[in-house]
Every structure is written in structure tokens, then in C-alpha cells.
A and B are shown apart, each in its own frame.
Chain A
């Protein structure tokens, strides 16, 4: 029921670029809930089992508000980001629901499906730009990052010319090595940028999310900027990382890439399996118990921090079978890569459509796509909240 030694977070990565640190999967094999120690020395619970992860994330007795006593932080920078001027992902209902519902209609399944041709167009142009006059590129900087950035900029009404600014600031904010003053500065800078943009939208509105938010009388300027911040950062960062890691995973598995090339109709299921298999939030979602709650075989006292491990939940063998294997034909739709409970990713349909479009287009248009460097020379963002590749040199000539 309890393990002798506590697992120290974050754990060190192993050799597989597609797996979370082995200590997490080992812990998951031992028990569904484990004791762990945060970098600041505080103890917390690591919830690793699929059922337990879903139970905690669906249970309102676990608060997502980072100001709740016991809330676990992996870094000082994260503490700053989550507590200073939190966006709705760090709030509980009813405030969370009030703010989330202000933007939920922009992410309706139907609405996102309507965007599909526009997304296809953005992806096609990105491939054109990447391949024009050359035979190799960095797939991260030249493709994976621009595509979702362009899409979310269009939806939000953020000028894409400013991408260097918001991409570098959000990288800083998601990096666990960022110090508190650095995070404070980056946060203030991006919030200031968005508040200014929102003010401009108020006087000269356009057909975009920021304009609609800026026009609302029931939102403060700070709330508008904070909503924009959340959509902008989550809207490009996770899809960019997921794109790059997915492409690498498929390049390393020509048999699976071949399946997708032979039958593009597989892509919906393929994206679900990639989401499950790669789950790029390796060290999961933080919550704090506001009451004493029984989770699996463990009693978690009020005031304790909990980290829900999406990456180990998605490797549940009973549910998914041989989970360490990438199998694009697997029914992986029960995965929790987008989280679970009321905070489950609002942009998940957008992410799905982006990934589906990106993968089919890339493998169709560049049949010779392959790594331009040996795989062991690749560098990963192991210190980020969102796992990814720093660069992915590829060639197709």
C-alpha cells in the first residue's frame, strides 16, 4: 500500500525518446497511487492508474486552484504562473465555468470542422515554404511551430508577425528551470502585450476571439488578457510539440508510417493512438485535496497535493493492451492525453484537426521524409511542462 522510499520529482529520463522517465512507469507498475517528493522538498501523491487519474480529475474535492493549500509545484516559475494572475485552468467552478464558457463556442466540434479547409491551406503553405529551394529543414522551427501558431493567431486575432515574442515568452514560462523573477517578467510581458492588443480590438474590433472578449462588459481587462494568454500559449505550444514528436515516432516506425500513407482514412484513429502513446504532458496535472478522499487503495488527507499522471494512465495495459508499442490501428479513444474532468482540454478538437491535417499532408507530400541526423543526436525539452523536441532536422531529397 505504501512504498518504502518516495519518488523524487522530476525523475530522470531514460533512453527512449517516446516514453516518460522509467521511474514513473515503474511506480505505476507497483501501485496506482504512490508517494513522491517535489523539488522544493514537499511530499505529494503521484496518481498513476487510469481509473484513479480519471477519478481524481473528475472529483471536485480536488481543487485545480493553485492557491489551495498543498497544491504541488514543480518549479518556482510554475508557482508564479499558476498563482499570480491565474487563468481559468487554475480555477474551480463556478469561476472556471463562467470564463471557460465565454470561449467554448469558438471551439465547438462543428465550428472547428468548418475551419478544416483553412487549416489545410495553412499546412500546405507551410510545406511549400519549408521545401522551397531546399531539401532539408528543422521541422520544429520551420513547420511544427508555425502551423498551430498561425491557426491560433487567426482565431484569436493576434498578429502572426509577433510570433517570436509570444513563442519565446511561452517557452520561458513552460520551462521548469525558469526562476520566479524570470517567470514574473515573462508573464507580465505577455499579459501586457495581450492587454494592449485587447484595448486596440475594443476600439477597432475584427471577427476574432479577442475582439469578442474585449467587447464584453462582464470581463475585466485582466480577465480578457488572461483568457487570451491561455488560448495563445496552449493553442500553439502543445500542438507544435505533439507534431514534432509524432513525426519522429512515425519516422522511427516506417511500418506505421506506411500504414498511414497507404490509407489516409486511418488518420483519425492514428492521431488518437499517437496522443495516447506520446502523451506529451509527461509529469501530469496538479490538484490539491480540499477534503480527505479515498483514491484507489490510498486515503489522501485534505491539504495534500496530488499529481495525476496522464502518461502512465495512457499506458494501462488492461485498457489498451501492449501499450509501449505504437499501433496506429489500436482503438485508443479512451486515452486521457487531454486530461479529464471539467478542465479537459477545450481545444482538443482543434488539436485533433491540426494533427490529422499535418500528418496526412506531410507524409503525402514528402514521401522521402527522413531524419537528417542520427536519432541519438536529437535534443529534447525534458525540462518543460510539455515534452518535445528542441529541433528535428529532416530531409526529403
Chain B
């Protein structure tokens, strides 16, 4: 079953990458190793750079230094996102979930009735825990006992913090009506050797291009600019005096 949503304006619009502190842009670029997206989450957090840094540090620990294992982590995140009606988070986590070994059917099933899928015992316990933790409901002793048989104390603490962090993210994005990230599909090729630092691109598409600090050569603010900037990027490529910017149209095959 699908729900039709009437798009509403965000209560606090995400800041465009041009207005982020540079460290946040670097963190986003870094996070793309774990899959695309997150522009609007980062853009929202950018309103509070110090908090953004703390939040993303926690997210990084949970993603890269966690002890639960990737599969367990993604099950918890997907289920909490589903329970809190946060399609933004659920959609964004499809890629890391698949990377963690979840099948498409399993990913779909995290957004449905738990009985409609033949979950293995441990998966089922984790999902049941996620359902309760999402709403801060008490975890019964029987379920806790089953979890404690397979997870150590550190892993259990991490499980609770992970569910809480996911819930906080869902509540933040939902309350602010933060829109989902659009699928990036704009491929911009830069030939930085040719760049002569005239700065035309920054004038034409300030959301997409910046100049590096050393020599003012062209750089992208985000690795894969949102398609809504296509016209501006095309204009920037036309104005660029040195031919350093090439825009590959979606229908054209990218250069090898």
C-alpha cells in the first residue's frame, strides 16, 4: 500500500551546500562512500554547525566503528524509520542495507507487517525490539533475554543508542518536513588542468561550483549536483572561458 503525500514546504529549508561550513561538505563527500544522498540532512544540520559535527561524529561511529555488524544495524535503522513514518531515512538506507547483505525482499519487508515475511529468529527479535524502541516502549524480559544471548553488553548499549539516534533523525526530518534528496543524475566533468580561475562558473552556478583556496581552480561543492541545477551548470559550462567544464547529459553515455 502506498500513501500519497501532499508535498509541503520545509519548516526550516536545508541550507544549500555553498553555505555549509567546508568541513561539512568534506564529511558529506566522505559519507558518499556509504552511498549517495544525505544532502538535505546535512543541509538541515548545517543550521547548527557544532551540533552537526557532534551528530555526524556519532553517526560515523555507529556506521564504521560499531560492534553490532552491518546487517543488524541496517535492520534496526530501516525498521525504526518505517515505524516513525520517515520515508526519507528508509529510502536512503536501501543502498547501505543492500551493501550489508539484505536482499531486496528483506528490505521491502522491513516496511511491512513482520508476520508477512519469514524472518529468522534473531532478525525477528531485532525488528521487534526496533518496534518498541522507536516509541520508547518497555522491552519485555523475554525479548531482552533472547537478545542478550547473542549480543554482549557493548552491543546491547549500541543497539539502544542506534535506535534512539535513528528516531531522533526521523523526528527531526519529519517535524521540519525536510524533503527527500533528489536522485543525483547530473554528471559534471571538470578538467582542472585547463581551469584559468576566471570564476565565471561560481557566478553562474554558485550552488554547484566553488574555487579552491590555493589557485582558484574549479571544484564541485557536491560530487553529484542535483539535477535542478542543470540549466545553471549548462550556462556555467558555456561561460567557462577555458573549456574546463563539461556536462554529460543523462541520455548521453558518460565518457569511459
Binding site for B on A (CB under 8 A): 57-58, 97, 100-101, 104-105, 107-110, 333-334, 338-346, 348-349
Contacts and interface: CB of A to CB of B under 8 A. Distances in A.
Interface stretch (B27-35, B110-118, B235-243): B235-243
B206 to A, nearest CB: 8
B216 interface: yes
A107 B199 contact: yes
Given A100-B197, A349-B199, A105 B241 contact: no
- The 5 tightest CB contacts between A and B, nearest first, are A104-B197, A344-B241, A104-B216, A109-B199, A109-B202
Contacts of A334: 238-239
Contacts of A58: 241-243
Interface string B187-203: 00000001011111011
Interface in B201-218: 202-204, 210-211, 213-217
Contact of A348 (B199, B213, B214, B238): B199
B136 to A, nearest CB: 46
Interface residues of B, number: 22
A97 B199 contact: no
Nearest to B194: A342
Contacts of B239: 333-334
Most B CB within 10 A of own CB, among A100, A104, A346: A104
Given A108-B216, A109-B202, A109-B211, A101 B241 contact: no
A333 B231 CA distance: 14
A341 B241 contact: yes
A344 B211 contact: no
30 contacts: A57-B241, A58-B242, A58-B243, A100-B197, A101-B197, A101-B216, A104-B196, A104-B216, A105-B213, A105-B216, A107-B197, A107-B199, A108-B211, A108-B213, A109-B203, A333-B204, A333-B235, A333-B239, A334-B238, A334-B239, A338-B198, A340-B241, A341-B241, A341-B242, A342-B242, A344-B198, A344-B200, A346-B197, A348-B200, A349-B203
Given A108-B213, A333-B239, A341-B241, 7 more contacts: A100-B196, A101-B197, A105-B215, A110-B211, A334-B238, A342-B194, A342-B241
B50 to A, nearest CB: 23
A349 B217 CA distance: 15
A350 B14 CA distance: 30
Contacts of B204: 333
A200 B55 CA distance: 51
A340 B214 CA distance: 23
Contacts of A341: 241-242
